[in-house]
Amino acid sequence: MFLFQVCFLLSTILTQSLTLSTTGSSDVFIETWSSKAGIIKVGVGVRTDQRSIAGRGIFATRDIREGEVVASIPNGLVLMGKGDGWAGEITNAVKALKGGGGRRGEGGGSGEDSRVEWIDGWEGGGCKSWDDVCACVGGEGAFNGREELREMVRLRLEDRLQGFRQISYLDASDLELYALVCSRACHLGPSWGEGAVGVIPYFDYLNHHDDPSRVNVGLESFGQVLSRTPEGPGRPDPGTMNEKDMLIVAKKDVREGEELLTSYVDEDDEGGDVRKIITWGFSTLS
């Protein structure tokens, strides 16, 4: 009996090691962070997967129907701007991180407790390393951040070695800065005004795709979803979701195991390489 149990255990371990997807410590960290940040997930989860555009992404853990809300994000974590104004937000966030002020106000961003996680590299467009990324954005448009990005790299590497113990994930200002610097941007649609951009603070794993046929989720306000689904299973639950929350909504039926993908920011947007860096395929595998 004991020998059978040992053989069964070894078989299970080998089977798990051969699958395309895994749940590692980083994935658990992501889930923990998002829960502390007040993000509610319904039928989705973060996992490392070779099939993901960026190596790790958000995948459906069950079949999801078109119009169904799959995640709710506190409105304060979804930061909006117009035109290429969000590039300036990133500049301010970098300055705040370095203790130089910025939109977090006096004293914000200085000291060990302000450190945040950053990305490992960029997949696509020719920028394959951090030096290349810095070269790509240096002097481009409203964002002149070559040295700032280099400093971000240094801080990020320090944090990788020291762990994340210095970051208070329950502190609103830290979460705000984290969302600014570490997340992707996507269009919010015409109802928010021309050029409105939302930043999705889901640890940078709601990946983008430039093929419209692959896009299966979008970002909507609580009110938009309520007006569209007065009754039925796709209606957000006011008992668990705040009316100011931003919602990730399925734009088509999503089968269990599929990655959730949102769209590019339009090609004709201002921002140049900054836009590309924020919106296209970061690799966060370590």
CA 32 to CA 208: how far, in whole Å? 23
CA 1 to CA 11: how far, in whole Å? 15
CA 115 to CA 127: how far, in whole Å? 25
Parent domain of 284: 39-286
List the one residue out of 210, 255, 249, 194 whose CA is nearest residue 226.
249
Residue 20 lies in a domain: no
DSSP string, 52-75: STTSEEEEESS-B-TT-EEEEE-G
CA 51 to CA 49: how far, in whole Å? 5
Residue 229 lies in a domain: yes
Count Cα neighbours of 83 within 13 Å in the Cβ-side half-sphere.
Answer: 5
Residue 234 lies in a domain: yes
Using DSSP's 3-state secondary structure scheme, residue 224 falls into: helix
Residue 28 lies in a domain: no
CA 138 to CA 143: how far, in whole Å? 7
Total of domains in the chain: 1
Q: How many CB atoms lie within 10 A of CB 265?
A: 22
Give every CB contact of residue 73 below 8 A, 6+ residues apart in sequence: 38, 39, 200, 201, 202, 245, 246, 247, 248
User: What's 122's DSSP letter?
Assistant: E
146: left (phi over 0), alpha (psi -120 to 50) or beta: alpha
Separation of CA 4 from chain center = 44
Residue 14 lies in a domain: no
- Give the tokens for residue 174: 């830290």
Residue 195 lies in a domain: yes
CATH number assigned to the domain comprising residue 222: 2.170.270.10
List the one residue out of 175, 124, 99, 131 whose CA is nearest residue 278.
124
Residue 58 lies in a domain: yes
CA 64 to CA 275: how far, in whole Å? 30
Residue-level pLDDT, tens digit, the chain, 286 residues: 444 443 433 333 333 333 344 556 667 766 776 777 677 888 898 887 777 765 667 899 999 998 888 888 776 555 444 433 444 444 444 444 444 433 322 223 322 222 222 222 222 233 333 333 333 333 332 233 334 444 544 454 344 334 333 444 444 444 334 433 444 444 444 444 444 444 444 434 676 665 678 889 877 777 777 776 666 655 666 566 667 677 888 989 999 999 988 765 444 444 433 344 343 323 222 2
Q: How many CB atoms lie within 10 A of CB 194?
A: 7
- Give the tokens for residue 159: 């944090």
**Predicted TM-score (pTM) of this structure:** 0.51
Separation of CA 125 from chain center = 20
- Looking at the DSSP bridge assignments, the partners of residue 21 are 49
CA 235 to CA 225: how far, in whole Å? 7
Residue 2 lies in a domain: no
- Give the tokens for residue 13: 């371990």
